[in-house]
């Protein structure tokens, strides 16, 4: 059963995560007028708390942050005030022990009064705010319906027989229609209200029935209908989006279920959202860094292309002003380390030394497939993965004409490297390493370092698979995934 109201309404008395993004809190008591004419001034009476600090908080995407504080006097009176306005959105009052008590809305008019008592938390009064009147009216009706739905759901789960199950299912469907009608009524009656805005953000389009096209059911139509209407009435430059607990979840749902994993499909969506969001002071950096963090170390192979697109089209065009110097340097270095090793590109030139210190090139390897393994003989994970690689090679890959090009990245541990090769019987591979002298030549010449920058080796082991022309066809996979890729590729060739 899905949730039927603002998700934040269900978080009463949950622990609050206080994050660094919170704005500077105030602690003034000002209950006798002289409130700032600009900025925000939210008066509050919160019984039975006295002579203690309370807070208001909001969301920053999925995280909760504190936005302001107020010191209550001996009459339980206080005020949240500042010369600057709060970003409009869903807010909540937080107790001295950081528990969420109840929710309210902040719109552009930020002068109003809250009267509440923790012994009767469902009877909060908000005076001087039309938006909160609408919100409270909706919340009361929807919560009443929600409680009724919950009772029906529990009865359905404990039904003694199929007849009772069918009865409660029918009751649930009927009550659920009342919930939807309540939402629709609010949006029709107050189309420009914040409550309607948030309901629009929350809702998902219902998939229509499959239409008949040329005598056949079009099974893809419902999917594309939902995808094309998923963001109806949502504009991505609205800062209120991140001041909700449900926007980021909806965003993740969209990319998981309605956007292809192909990098170009993701890039199209990301480009559109960031371009529209650009005028949003808070939503734009939120989306920019969310997508950057997601695709700088992506879940699926090849999606680092999305990060490169973001870097080239946003950061490289001036948006590094949003970063401190360390972050600027980190993101720029990461981008340049990815550029030379994208899927479909020719592998960078790799000329290294053999065990007996003769020069050898990756491009000298003649085979339909070459598996490149960058590793360190002192790395504990490598000591596990490299023998496993040999097991796949001997059991399956050798028959698929795969050659292993093994590169030790630690020139200080040549002796340990040779010992590991001998102890693990890795004689059937091509083994090589980059000398300290060759690395220093690259650095002194101001060239990108071959291993760290051109092959993006920031962790060990790092693996690549190239074809007979040394074009990169797979990377950043587990050994099991590489094996599946090779086997599937071989099977496709046999079927042709």
Burial class (CB in 10 A: 0-12, 13-18, 19+), 494: exposed
Q: Say what the pLDDT of residue 35 is.
A: 58
pLDDT at 9 over 50: no
Asked if residue 207 belongs to a domain, the reply is no
Q: Say what the pLDDT of residue 163 is.
A: 87
**Sheet strands side by side (includes 89-94):** 63-71, 53-60, 89-94, 100-106
| Percent of the chain clearing pLDDT 90 (strictly above) | 73
DSSP state of 98: S
Mean of pLDDT values over 478-483: 96
At 178-230, the pLDDT tens digits run 888 888 999 999 999 999 999 999 989 989 999 888 889 999 999 999 999 99
Can you tell me the distance from the alpha carbon of 474 to that of 258, in angstroms, rounded to the nearest whole number? 25
Can you tell me the distance from the alpha carbon of 460 to that of 458, in angstroms, rounded to the nearest whole number? 7
Helices of type H across 242-359:
247-257, 263-277, 283-296, 304-313, 325-339
What CATH number is given to the structural domain containing 392? 3.40.30.10
Q: Say what the pLDDT of residue 175 is.
A: 87
| Range of the structural domain that residue 269 is part of | 216-339
Last residue of a domain, one of 143, 171, 202: 202
First and final C-alpha spacing in the chain: 48
Asked if residue 22 belongs to a domain, the reply is yes
| C-alpha gyration radius of the chain | 30
Number of domains forming the structure of the chain: 4
Residue 34 — pLDDT band, cuts 50, 70, 90? low
Indicate if 120 and 173 belong to the same structural domain: no
Q: Of 60-64, 313-317, 342-346, 386-390, which gets the smallest average pLDDT?
A: 313-317
359 alpha carbon, distance to own chain's centre: 45
Tokens of 212: 């008949």
Residues forming beta bridges with residue 472, ordered by sequence position = 466
pLDDT at 245 over 90: yes
- Mean model confidence pLDDT for the chain: 89
Asked if residue 344 belongs to a domain, the reply is no
Asked if residue 243 belongs to a domain, the reply is yes
pLDDT at 18 over 70: no
Indicate if 306 and 363 belong to the same structural domain: no
SS3 state at 411: helix
Indicate if 486 and 360 belong to the same structural domain: yes
Last residue of a domain, one of 293, 316, 339: 339
Asked if residue 332 belongs to a domain, the reply is yes
pLDDT at 239 over 60: yes
Indicate if 147 and 122 belong to the same structural domain: no
Tokens of 261: 């994993």
Q: Say what the pLDDT of residue 102 is.
A: 95
What CATH number is given to the structural domain containing 53? 2.60.40
Q: Say what the pLDDT of residue 246 is.
A: 94
Can you tell me the distance from the alpha carbon of 57 to that of 80, in angstroms, rounded to the nearest whole number? 11
Indicate if 32 and 103 belong to the same structural domain: yes
Mean of pLDDT values over 146-156: 88
Q: Say what the pLDDT of residue 37 is.
A: 66
pLDDT at 68 over 90: yes
Indicate if 373 and 461 belong to the same structural domain: yes
Q: Say what the pLDDT of residue 341 is.
A: 94
Q: Say what the pLDDT of residue 496 is.
A: 65
Q: Say what the pLDDT of residue 300 is.
A: 93
Asked if residue 164 belongs to a domain, the reply is yes
Indicate if 168 and 113 belong to the same structural domain: no
Last residue of a domain, one of 180, 202, 224: 202
At 386-422, the pLDDT tens digits run 999 999 999 999 999 999 999 999 999 999 999 999 9
Q: Where is mean pLDDT largest: 200-214, 237-251, 312-326?
A: 237-251
Indicate if 235 and 195 belong to the same structural domain: no
Indicate if 372 and 284 belong to the same structural domain: no
Biggest CA pair distance of the chain = 87
Asked if residue 210 belongs to a domain, the reply is no
Which whole-number Å values give the CA distances from 14 to 93, 106, 115, 120, 260, in the listed order? Answer: 12, 21, 21, 18, 36
Indicate if 328 and 222 belong to the same structural domain: yes
Indicate if 335 and 221 belong to the same structural domain: yes
Asked if residue 211 belongs to a domain, the reply is no
Indicate if 363 and 470 belong to the same structural domain: yes
Helix, strand counts (H, E) of the chain: 13, 17
């Amino acid at each position: 059963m899905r949730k039927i109201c603002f998700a934040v309404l269900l978080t009463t008395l949950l622990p609050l995560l206080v994050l660094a993004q919170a704005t500077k809190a105030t602690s003034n008591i000002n209950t006798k007028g002289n409130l700032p004419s600009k900025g925000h001034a939210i008066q509050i009476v919160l019984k039975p708390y006295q002579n203690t600090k309370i807070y208001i908080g909001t969301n920053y995407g999925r995280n909760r942050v504190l936005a302001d504080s107020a010191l209550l006097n001996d009459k339980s009176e206080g005020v949240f005030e500042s010369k600057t306005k709060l970003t409009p959105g869903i807010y909540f009052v937080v107790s001295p022990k950081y528990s969420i008590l109840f929710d309210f809305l902040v719109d552009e008019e930020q002068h109003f009064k809250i009267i509440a008592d923790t012994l009767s938390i469902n009877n909060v009064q908000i005076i001087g705010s039309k938006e909160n009147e609408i919100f409270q009216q909706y919340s009361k009706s929807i919560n009443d319906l929600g409680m009724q739905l919950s009772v029906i759901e529990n009865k359905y789960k404990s039904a003694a027989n199929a007849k009772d199950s069918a009865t409660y299912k029918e009751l649930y469907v009927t009550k659920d229609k009342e919930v939807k009608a309540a939402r629709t009524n609010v949006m029709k009656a107050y189309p420009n209200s914040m409550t309607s805005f948030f309901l629009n953000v929350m809702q998902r389009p219902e998939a229509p029935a499959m239409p008949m096209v040329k005598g056949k059911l079009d099974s893809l139509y419902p999917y594309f209908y939902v995808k094309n209407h998923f963001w109806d009435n949502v504009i991505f430059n609205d800062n209120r989006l991140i001041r909700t607990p449900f926007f980021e979840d909806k965003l993740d749902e969209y990319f998981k279920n309605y956007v292809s994993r192909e990098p170009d499909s993701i890039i199209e969506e990301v480009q559109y959202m960031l371009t529209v969001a650009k005028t949003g002071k808070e939503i734009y950096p939120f989306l920019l860094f969310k997508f950057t963090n997601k695709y700088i170390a992506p879940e699926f192979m090849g999606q680092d292309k999305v990060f490169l697109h973001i870097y080239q089209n946003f950061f490289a065009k001036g948006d590094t002003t949003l970063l401190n110097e360390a972050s600027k340097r980190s993101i720029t270095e990461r981008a340049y380390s990815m550029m030379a090793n994208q899927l479909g590109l020719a592998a960078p030139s790799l000329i290294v030394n053999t065990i007996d210190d003769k020069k050898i090139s990756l491009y000298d390897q003649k085979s339909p497939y070459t598996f490149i393994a960058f590793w360190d003989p002192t790395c504990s994970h490598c000591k596990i993965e490299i023998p496993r690689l040999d097991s796949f090679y001997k059991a399956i890959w050798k028959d698929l004409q795969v050659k292993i090009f093994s590169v030790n990245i630690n020139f200080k541990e040549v002796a340990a490297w040779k010992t590991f090769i001998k102890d693990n019987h890795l004689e059937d591979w091509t083994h090589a390493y980059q000398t300290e002298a060759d690395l220093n030549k690259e650095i002194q010449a101001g060239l990108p370092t071959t291993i760290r920058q051109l092959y993006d080796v920031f962790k060990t082991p790092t693996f690549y698979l190239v074809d007979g022309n040394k074009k990169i066809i797979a990377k950043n996979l587990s050994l099991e995934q590489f094996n599946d890729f090779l086997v599937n590729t071989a099977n496709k060739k046999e079927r042709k």
